[in-house]
């Protein structure tokens, strides 16, 4: 049955109408076609053509014989197709090119996924005779095709790799919609350009990919090397026996993936060691999560660790937030100052460590996280356990391995190396010339108490580097540090208001004793070379003479050693 947009007109050799149906019975259309037929000697009739202006919007396919012509007429409502046919004389040749293109096959399926058309090149390539697949479900004709999916989903698949019969080709599968937006067909376009050329192109891409992957792995290794350098063992400065043992322990423990407790005074490098343990461990490629239990109010520790659901408490983020346990899943969690954790939190932490599950604050979902716990504290666990401020069972859980970090006073021999490293890092960070310290300053630093350990040493050196105008730091540039033998009045620090005169004079006396001792040592070492002594100690020569006079006159009263 013809639709009202289609028609047939058959004429004899004189142009008389022999049969008309549908649009063929339209007077305007029929007259226009009769004119085309009459002029055929001067304007040969094309297979596909647009009707002349008086029948604008109609096209026809013609079958011409000596006895007459048959026209299949269709209305294009002047859409792109009609315009194309009207504008392009060789429209039919172009269509033919597309459906027989030897470089790019075209397969068409109907809305049921049955083959409507297959390019000859494709038929040949799979050993079908001409038209052999027509009417069959495409799945049974073309191996690994997805045209039957595309004709259902309506989603194009462009530039996909298609493997069939041992050959790899690039395909695009495009759904076709009619003008009412109904999904009516799907077209598969298969790149056939020289059966060898495409696999070669794919081979080239795959070689390129392999090369890029290799490069990526190389840079990954480099990056992890840099990371190790910035947070790994190289970052832990020192060659003392204590540090060597610590580094060996880190190397031994890191790969074991067990909980580690780091015990040591403040500033001994516990965080530094935690980074090294994580980076050298099996989870080192993931970011380390850090939390300081002492740095936040007890009320917040829970939300920080467990996270919370939206609206769990006043001021909470509406969307809720992940806690540190969730964030450290498959990585490591550094829980600093664990000794300061409130008792009720210790119970909750223990539960997480026992079975790895927890709930967000305000939530009822049971969540799981698999993390490696590295904890640290400068507290005395034995005392806390005795006083019932730290749970024994939690202590056992967190301390599968305990590493003790030595205080700086027990490894004074590391001070030259540490000083060098900190001054170098300071200079690099601030892009200034590196300042140096000589032996006398080192000896002075080794005589200091360092209750704040390496952190305090680092700060003292940096402060001295900032305030000293000379490239060589002098003892004075350290502004007075507590020494083993007593306190040193802080040069550049305001005097303590509360200190009594007696205490102040004690401090002054102690300072003088240390200073004179250093001068005496330097005099002995340099064979009395006052210029060198002044240089080494970073003091003026006139000041040195003044001190030497004191030294000569006061050996007995001050009880200085004479070597
Ligand atoms: N052996 C070391 N080599 C180089 N730098 C160190 C060393 N030990 C500590 N530091 C530096 O000292 C500072 C303090 O170290 P860190 O924060 O690791 O100490 P901590 O023991 O965790 O201190 P706290 O207990 O106060 O948190 C950091 O700047 C760190 O880089």
Contact 68, 5 (CB under 8 A): no
**Tens of pLDDT along 439-464?**
999 998 998 888 889 999 999 999 89
Full residue range of the structural domain in which residue 40 is found? 6-94
Reading the block at residue 247, the tokens are: 């580094």
pLDDT on residue 183: 93
Strand partners, 263: 377, 404
Give the predicted TM-score (pTM) of the model.
0.51
Verify that 155 and 32 share a domain, yes or no: no
> Which of 234, 455, 456, 459 best tests ligand 1's pocket when mutated (most atoms within 8 Å of CB)?
455
Q: How confident is the model at residue 191 (pLDDT cuts 50, 70, 90)?
A: confident
Query: What is the average pLDDT value for the chain, to the nearest integer?
Result: 83
Verify that 400 and 452 share a domain, yes or no: no
Dist. CA 336–CA 339, nearest whole Å: 8
Strand partners, 73: 7, 60
**Tens of pLDDT along 206-236?**
777 877 887 787 777 666 666 555 567 888 9
Contact 28, 95 (CB under 8 A): no
- The reply to whether 64 falls in a domain is yes
- Range with lowest mean pLDDT among 32-36, 201-205, 320-324: 201-205
Number of domains in the chain: 4
How many CB atoms are closer than 10 A to CB 355? 9
Top-confidence range, 91-100, 200-209, 378-387? 378-387
- The reply to whether 216 falls in a domain is no
Residue nearest to atom 13 of ligand 1 (CA): 455
For the chain, percent of residues with pLDDT exceeding 70: 84
pLDDT on residue 36: 92
**Closest C-alpha among 22, 23, 57, 53 to residue 36:** 53
Token pair 């290799």 is found at 214
pLDDT at 531 over 60: yes
CATH of the domain at 257: 3.40.50.300
pLDDT at 501 over 50: no
**Closest C-alpha among 67, 85, 89 to residue 75:** 85
Verify that 392 and 418 share a domain, yes or no: no
Verify that 390 and 520 share a domain, yes or no: no
Dist. CA 40–CA 293, nearest whole Å: 96
pLDDT on residue 496: 29
Residues 6+ apart with CB under 8 A from 544: 519, 530, 533, 534, 537
Verify that 279 and 385 share a domain, yes or no: yes
- The reply to whether 345 falls in a domain is yes
- The reply to whether 226 falls in a domain is no
**Tens of pLDDT along 390-415?**
999 999 999 989 999 999 999 999 99
- The reply to whether 206 falls in a domain is no
**Tens of pLDDT along 18-77?**
999 999 999 999 999 999 999 999 988 988 888 888 888 888 889 999 899 999 998 865
Contact 37, 26 (CB under 8 A): no
Residue nearest to atom 28 of ligand 1 (CA): 455
Residue nearest to atom 30 of ligand 1 (CA): 269
Verify that 262 and 365 share a domain, yes or no: yes
- The reply to whether 133 falls in a domain is yes
User: How many angstroms separate the alpha carbon of residue 66 from the centre of ligand 1?
Assistant: 102
At which of 383, 406, 429 does a domain end?
Answer: 406
Verify that 371 and 442 share a domain, yes or no: no
Within 13 Å and on the Cβ side, how many CA atoms surround 238? 23
Residue nearest to atom 23 of ligand 1 (CA): 267
User: How many angstroms separate the alpha carbon of residue 395 from the centre of ligand 1?
Assistant: 23
**Tens of pLDDT along 62-119?**
999 989 999 999 886 556 777 777 678 788 888 888 888 888 899 999 999 999 999 9
> Which of 250, 260, 268 best tests ligand 1's pocket when mutated (most atoms within 8 Å of CB)?
268
Contact 76, 85 (CB under 8 A): yes
Residue nearest to atom 8 of ligand 1 (CA): 269
User: How many angstroms separate the alpha carbon of residue 112 from the centre of ligand 1?
Assistant: 71
Verify that 134 and 78 share a domain, yes or no: no
CATH of the domain at 184: 3.30.450.20
CATH of the domain at 57: 3.40.1840.10
Q: Does 270 sit in the ligand 1 pocket, CB within 6 Å?
A: yes
User: How many angstroms separate the alpha carbon of residue 454 from the centre of ligand 1?
Assistant: 6
**Tens of pLDDT along 326-365?**
999 999 999 998 998 888 888 888 988 988 888 888 888 8
Contact 412, 446 (CB under 8 A): yes
Contact 184, 190 (CB under 8 A): no
Verify that 431 and 523 share a domain, yes or no: yes
Verify that 467 and 342 share a domain, yes or no: no
Residues 6+ apart with CB under 8 A from 481: 445, 448, 449, 460, 488
> Which of 235, 239, 269 best tests ligand 1's pocket when mutated (most atoms within 8 Å of CB)?
269
Reading the block at residue 166, the tokens are: 């041992």
pLDDT at 159 over 90: no
Angle made by CA atoms 154, 121, 138, in degrees to the nearest 5: 40
pLDDT at 198 over 60: no
- The reply to whether 36 falls in a domain is yes
- The reply to whether 218 falls in a domain is no
Higher pLDDT, 165 or 125: 125
Dist. CA 312–CA 316, nearest whole Å: 6
Residues 6+ apart with CB under 8 A from 467: 477, 479, 492
For the chain, percent of residues with pLDDT exceeding 90: 40
Q: Does 414 sit in the ligand 1 pocket, CB within 6 Å?
A: no
User: How many angstroms separate the alpha carbon of residue 492 from the centre of ligand 1?
Assistant: 26
Verify that 279 and 348 share a domain, yes or no: yes
- In order of 12, 21, 69, 330, the CA distances from 18 in angstroms are 7, 11, 10, 84
At which of 135, 170, 195 does a domain end?
Answer: 195
Q: How confident is the model at residue 260 (pLDDT cuts 50, 70, 90)?
A: very high
Instruction: Check the CA dihedral 150-155-156-161 and report its sign.
Output: negative
User: How many angstroms separate the alpha carbon of residue 452 from the centre of ligand 1?
Assistant: 10
Q: Does 455 sit in the ligand 1 pocket, CB within 6 Å?
A: yes
pLDDT at 561 over 50: no
User: How many angstroms separate the alpha carbon of residue 262 from the centre of ligand 1?
Assistant: 12
Dist. CA 367–CA 364, nearest whole Å: 9
At which of 381, 406, 431 does a domain end?
Answer: 406
pLDDT at 175 over 90: yes
Verify that 255 and 391 share a domain, yes or no: yes
pLDDT at 278 over 80: yes
Strand partners, 491: none
Q: Helix, strand or coil for residue 20?
A: strand
Q: Does 269 sit in the ligand 1 pocket, CB within 6 Å?
A: yes
């Amino acid at each position: 049955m013809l639709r009202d947009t289609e028609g047939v007109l058959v004429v004899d050799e004189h142009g008389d109408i022999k049969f008309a149906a549908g649009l063929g019975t339209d007077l305007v259309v029929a007259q226009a076609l009769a004119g085309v037929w009459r002029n055929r000697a001067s304007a040969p009739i094309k297979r596909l053509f647009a009707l002349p202006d008086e029948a604008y919007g109609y096209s026809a396919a013609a079958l011409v014989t000596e006895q007459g012509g048959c026209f299949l007429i269709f209305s294009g409502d002047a859409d792109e197709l009609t315009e194309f046919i009207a504008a392009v004389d060789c429209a039919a040749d172009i269509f033919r090119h597309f459906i027989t293109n030897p470089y790019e096959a075209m397969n068409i399926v109907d809305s049921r996924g049955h083959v409507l058309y297959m390019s000859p090149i494709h038929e040949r390539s799979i050993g079908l005779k001409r038209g052999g697949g027509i009417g069959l479900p495409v799945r049974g004709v073309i191996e690994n095709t997805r045209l039957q999916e595309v004709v259902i989903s309506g989603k194009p698949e462009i530039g996909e790799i298609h493997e069939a019969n041992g050959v790899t080709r690039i395909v695009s599968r495009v759904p076709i919609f009619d003008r009412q937006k109904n999904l009516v067909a799907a077209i598969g376009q298969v790149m056939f350009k020289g059966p060898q050329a495409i696999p070669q192109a794919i081979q080239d891409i795959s070689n390129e990919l392999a090369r890029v992957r290799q490069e990526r792995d190389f840079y990954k290794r480099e990056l992890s090397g840099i990371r190790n350098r910035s947070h790994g063992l190289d970052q832990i400065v020192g060659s003392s026996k204590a540090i060597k043992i610590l580094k060996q322990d880190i190397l031994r423990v890191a790969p074991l993936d067990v909980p580690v407790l780091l015990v040591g005074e403040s500033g001994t490098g516990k965080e530094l060691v935690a980074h090294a343990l994580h980076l050298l461990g099996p989870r080192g490629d993931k970011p380390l999560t850090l939390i300081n239990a002492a740095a936040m109010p007890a009320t917040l520790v829970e939300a920080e660790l467990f996270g919370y659901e939206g609206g769990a408490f006043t001021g909470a983020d509406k969307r809720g937030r992940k806690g540190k346990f969730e964030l450290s899943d498959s990585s490591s969690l550094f829980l600093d100052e664990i000794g300061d954790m409130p008792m009720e939190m210790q119970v909750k932490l223990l539960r997480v460590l026992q079975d790895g599950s927890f709930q967000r604050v305000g939530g009822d979902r049971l969540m799981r996280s698999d993390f490696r716990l590295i904890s640290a504290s400068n507290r005395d666990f034995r005392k806390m356990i005795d006083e019932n401020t730290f749970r024994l069972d939690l202590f056992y859980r967190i301390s599968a391995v305990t590493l003790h970090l030595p205080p700086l006073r027990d490894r004074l021999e590391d001070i030259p190396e540490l000083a060098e490293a900190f001054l170098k890092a300071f200079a690099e960070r601030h892009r200034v010339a590196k300042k140096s310290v000589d032996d006398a300053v080192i000896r002075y630093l080794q005589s200091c108490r360092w209750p704040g350990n390496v952190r305090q040493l680092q700060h003292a050196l940096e402060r001295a580097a900032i305030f000293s105008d000379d490239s060589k730091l002098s003892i004075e540039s350290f502004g007075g540090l507590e020494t083993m033998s007593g306190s040193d009045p802080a040069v550049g620090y305001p005097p303590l208001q509360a200190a009594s005169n007696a205490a102040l004079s004690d401090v002054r006396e102690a300072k003088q004793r240390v200073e004179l001792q250093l001068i005496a040592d330097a005099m002995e070492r340099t064979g009395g070379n006052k210029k060198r002594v002044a240089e080494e100690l970073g003091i003026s020569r006139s000041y040195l003479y003044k001190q030497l006079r004191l030294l000569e006159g006061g050996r007995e009263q001050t009880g200085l050693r004479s070597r």
